[in-house]
Structure 1
Amino acid sequence: MFALTIRSLRRAHWIAFFAGLLLCWCVLFAMAVPAELRALEATYGTSVVEFLCTGLLGTSSFASAFAMWVLMSAAMMAPTAVPTLATYDDLGQVTKTGFWQLLGGYIAVWVGLSGVAALVQVGLYRAGLIGGLGQSLSLPLTVALLIGAGLYQFSAMNEACLSRCRAPLTFFIQHWEEGPFRNGLRLGLDCVGCCWALMALAFVGGTMNLGFMGLAMLLMTLEKLPDVGRHLTKPLGGMLIASGLALPLIS
């Protein structure tokens, strides 16, 4: 699969794909909240950050929150689908149109989830449970997110979705006749099914936190690799549960 992906880099649509990813990450880097601003909020409270950055951080406005989550989802989740996209691209040397339709269906699902995440973020902010930088201000909320994400790693739904993500060739053989866009929708739903709980942890460390984004992208990508993921899922769940249980003791 690695050799296949390297060969695919020579094709124009793959170059465009990775250029789009690079652009997303560049925009996220430009929008990243500096450490000085995080320290300012910790010292003076959310109101100072809201005054300085109203509408930019996706807290009080649904539109800005939605735009931020769409950008995050594209930058973080498209790379996790590279092995699946490469498998599709190699099946009969499919057309460029089919590649983009598959990717479009996949991203469309994450755009839908971004709308839900934006509503949740705005609601949590207005309830005073997260700060102006999208990070949890509530110990019970933080504990619930960590333990919830950890427990979900052991769930049957998570395992079922991961098993389909780890076997793209089998998936395409079963659903090829549905066409690339509907295949993309199915893949997107499976991806949401195995990754939404880990994405929700953005509310622990703060949305638009590049450190969280990079680590989460790496973990979700590794989880979808059959030779690696099966050894990662449950230990990761155990670590998240242990962190959630230990947090009240050390806070």
Structure 2
Amino acid sequence: MSGGPAVAGRRTGPAGLLLVAAAAWVWVVARGGDMPAVPGTMGLGPLPFLAVWTLMTAAMMLPATAPVAALYARTLTAHRASHMAVFTLAYLLVWAAAGLPAYALAAGLGRAANLPVAAGTAVAAAVFALSGVYQLTPLKDRCLARCRSPIGLMLRYASYPGTSRDLRAGAHHGAFCLGCCWSLMVLLAAFGVMNLWAMVVLAAVITVEKLAPAGRVVARAVGVTSIALAVAVFWVPDLAPGLTGGGMTGM
């Protein structure tokens, strides 16, 4: 059969990326239950939190990025494995950098769990509302559109000169992904940062938003649902265990 090496090369991008995602999920499932079931930063300092955050985002984000990785791999003519490694690393560095404000936010919101339940509930409502409103904004729609139809991005990346192309392409796509998905990740502050079931559901939502034909409709439905949760949490505080302390668990 002809084209064997070419086909294998094209698979290098998504295959390697999915292996990283699978390894991250293995760590999350194996070690997540050992993480302290406390709100906010889980009792971690900045560097350990960033390490955990990066593994979480690798697990949750990379599967939905596989189609973009496959397209990018097709623009490469040689040494695809090393090029895709740099692309993936740059993508994850964007999310790692986002872990810095995430740590500050988690530290601040974690204090809500030590407040009276009414105060923690109000903070949870604000988190749900912020997420829901952003899901309905033109900026969310624009970032999601770039993730769903990346052909234009591929043309842009092809114009990048020199050895920094993979780094710039990975970081550029990571920035659009961050703009698309931060409003979903912030929900972990309400559900619990290492709440495994919340991570699985949100990862599924991210994948459906980016890859399913009705992804944009799903994004808006999630926004409406999040706004509804902002109201419902006043009657059912346990909807936000990460901020009200109700039913905190890693699994």
Q: Same fold (TM over 0.5)?
A: yes
Distance 1:226 1:176, change over 3 A: farther
Between the two proteins, what is the percent identity of the paired residues? Answer: 26
Distance 1:124 1:155, change over 3 A: same
Give the Cα–Cα distance (whole angstroms) in 2 for the partners of residues 181 and 108 of structure 1. 10
Give the Cα–Cα distance (whole angstroms) in 2 for the partners of residues 69 and 235 of structure 1. 26
Q: Bigger shift: 182-191 or 85-94?
A: 85-94
What is the deviation of 1:12?
Answer: 5.3
Give the Cα–Cα distance (whole angstroms) in 1 for the partners of residues 8 and 198 of structure 2. 29
CA contact (8 A) 1:77 1:217 kept: yes
2:19 counterpart letter in structure 1: A
Give the Cα–Cα distance (whole angstroms) in 2 for the partners of residues 9 and 211 of structure 1. 35
Task: Spell out the pairing of 1:205-224 with structure 2 (5 A cutoff).
Answer: 205-224=191-210
SS of residue matched to 2:33: coil
Q: Does 1:225 align with 2:207?
A: no
Distance 1:124 1:245, change over 3 A: closer
Distance 1:33 1:138, change over 3 A: farther
2:155 equivalent in structure 1: 173
Distance 1:21 1:8, change over 3 A: farther
2:245 equivalent in structure 1: none
Distance 1:245 1:91, change over 3 A: same
Larger RCO (alpha carbons 8 Å, 6+ apart): 2
1:214 counterpart letter in structure 2: V
CA contact (8 A) 1:58 1:66 kept: no
Task: Spell out the pairing of 1:76-155 with structure 2 (5 A cutoff).
Answer: 76-91=60-75, 95-125=80-110, 128-130=111-113, 138-155=120-137
Size of the alignment, in residue pairs? 222
What is the deviation of 1:112?
Answer: 0.3
Structure 2 gaps of 5+ residues are 1-6, 238-251
Give the Cα–Cα distance (whole angstroms) in 2 for the partners of residues 194 and 177 of structure 1. 24
CA contact (8 A) 2:141 2:216 kept: no
Distance 1:176 1:233, change over 3 A: same
What is the deviation of 1:101?
Answer: 2.0
- TM-score normalized with structure 2 length: 0.78
1:110 counterpart letter in structure 2: W
Deviation per CA, 1:36-76: give whole Å up to 9, x if none: x86xxxxxxx6xx9xxxxxxx74252222222111111111
CA contact (8 A) 1:66 1:114 kept: yes
1:26 equivalent in structure 2: 26
CA contact (8 A) 1:161 1:193 kept: yes
Structure 1 gaps of 5+ residues are 1-6, 39-45, 50-56
2:244 equivalent in structure 1: none
Give the Cα–Cα distance (whole angstroms) in 2 for the partners of residues 224 and 108 of structure 1. 20
Distance 1:226 1:177, change over 3 A: farther
Task: Spell out the pairing of 1:26-65 with structure 2 (5 A cutoff).
Answer: 26-33=26-33, 58-65=42-49
Query: What root-mean-square deviation, in Å, do the aligned CA atoms of Structure 1 and Structure 2 show?
Result: 2.7
Give the Cα–Cα distance (whole angstroms) in 2 for the partners of residues 159 and 12 of structure 1. 30
CA contact (8 A) 2:112 2:123 kept: yes
Give the Cα–Cα distance (whole angstroms) in 2 for the partners of residues 102 and 229 of structure 1. 25
What is the deviation of 1:15?
Answer: 4.2
CA contact (8 A) 1:9 1:15 kept: no
